[in-house]
Structure 1
């Protein structure tokens, strides 16, 4: 009897362990982009209270095919405005600041993220005409599963173009502000300016689902049907709804995905 109870208990424990492990694998495989964004947001929440930030901002842009520019994060501080582009690529990132295209593992090309972020910065400047390039720091963030083979100056804190790992965001923002403070006798913005800029961009942020869906369709090379009823893109293989970051990743690798969008699981079949 005791043996039977012991066996049953062992099976139950094994089943619980298997369920936990299965759940963990599912999170790791299908929500990498979301986890990366969570790590960024967690650090942004630790900024001083007088600073402000916005995430997932869609602004009008005359220089893009869709007519809009989608910005991952904007941080408003008294000494600088940080415009942040996040990437969730895994592998070796090869690139040069002045090159139009960078590559992942030397095989898959994607647009120079600083060129991409330049468009975002121009969109921000269009509704905040008082700011200048000297007041803006362009930040490109990759997850820790990537390795950089890029210009050394892009990692140096004196640069206004910075490439970082997502877990370094708070550190780099803090260090960059300290460097700016040492070279500037007075901050270019007051706390009132920060609030006004934050409010202006927040009010200018386009939240209309139809417009956002049309923007995604344009990025995806689609012109007619909405990807699905929620306005998000779906995996071509299984029909699963994917995030905008997954969509952008697939579109950035058109040679590999042929202009289609795939969830993380079905991206593997295209390596």
Structure 2
């Protein structure tokens, strides 16, 4: 009888230990899944918001008389939407700023669809931020006549600890610490303060907000990507660099197609 009781106690203790091990295993598995989900879906958004916050704080140093600053805005025009990290309206032109917050080494060319991030000896593809920013510029041009004929200065800002390596781009790709210097490099006045106020009113009228806007914007982005792919397959007059229009021009060596966004975009194509 004592022997049977001892066996039962041993079996009971073993069952408790097994149950504890299963509980620990399930707990660790759940924590691991949550960590992967956080790292994949939430961490990039948090880092992106931090990068935008640092850049927004830097832009506060601009003179409010000559510069009007917008941060993380959504705009709507003719049923389409666009999200812009930072928009600076000024008497010197319009600065459209795309912010990135990455680590590691960054390699890129403004003609490539993807850039390369090297982190801990692993390579990752990131969408070309120059192309991404050109879509914002082209969107703004379609809002009004004043915005269409304004001078644009796209800028890509890396606000994290990334090291820029072998970046080939006609658009400034800079660190956050050089942002104010890059903006103030443009000293030629293009519009009056009255015109600046009118453009500012146009932007305010196009602003949208609310919880639903992000979902609407994502749907519009996916729809526009499909539309652009179909358009580029059938239209040879689309600039492969920025998505603008290629127009016929005459140069020293004859006729050629040049981008309508020249001189910022210097993409050319031979006329067949």
TM-score where L is the length of structure 1: 0.58
- Alignment RMSD: 2.8
Are 1:119 and 2:116 matched, yes or no? no
Give the 3 Å change call, closer, same or farther, for CA 120–84 of structure 1 in structure 2: same
Query: Which of these residues, 143, 151, 154, is aligned with residue 135 of structure 1?
Result: 151
Matched residue count? 177
Query: Which of these residues, 91, 102, 106, is aligned with residue 104 of structure 2?
Result: 91
Gaps of at least 5 residues in structure 2 are: 1-42, 224-272
- Provide the C-alpha distance between the structure 1 equivalents of 2:220 and 2:90, rounded to a whole number of angstroms: 33
Deviation per residue, 1:201-227 (Å, 9 max, x gap):
122011132122332467699xxxxxx
SS of aligned partner of 2:142: helix
Higher strand share: 2
Are 1:149 and 2:165 matched, yes or no? yes
Match of 2:195 in 1: 193
Match of 1:38 in 2: 53
Gaps of at least 5 residues in structure 1 are: 1-27, 182-186, 222-271
Are 1:170 and 2:180 matched, yes or no? yes
Shift of 1:131: 3.8
SS of aligned partner of 2:102: coil
Match of 1:104 in 2: 117
Match of 2:212 in 1: 210
Match of 1:5 in 2: none
SS of aligned partner of 2:217: helix
Shift of 1:145: 0.6
Shift of 1:101: 1.2
Contact 1:81 1:135 (C-alpha < 8 Å) held by counterparts = yes
- Provide the C-alpha distance between the structure 2 equivalents of 1:205 and 1:150, rounded to a whole number of angstroms: 37
- Provide the C-alpha distance between the structure 2 equivalents of 1:56 and 1:30, rounded to a whole number of angstroms: 13
Shift of 1:132: 4.9
TM-score where L is the length of structure 2: 0.57
Give the 3 Å change call, closer, same or farther, for CA 110–30 of structure 1 in structure 2: closer
Shift of 1:60: 3.3
Give the 3 Å change call, closer, same or farther, for CA 220–135 of structure 1 in structure 2: closer
Are 1:77 and 2:57 matched, yes or no? no
Match of 1:56 in 2: 72
Give the 3 Å change call, closer, same or farther, for CA 122–219 of structure 1 in structure 2: closer
Contact 2:142 2:148 (C-alpha < 8 Å) held by counterparts = no
Contact 2:72 2:83 (C-alpha < 8 Å) held by counterparts = yes
- Provide the C-alpha distance between the structure 2 equivalents of 1:109 and 1:133, rounded to a whole number of angstroms: 35
Give the 3 Å change call, closer, same or farther, for CA 91–98 of structure 1 in structure 2: same
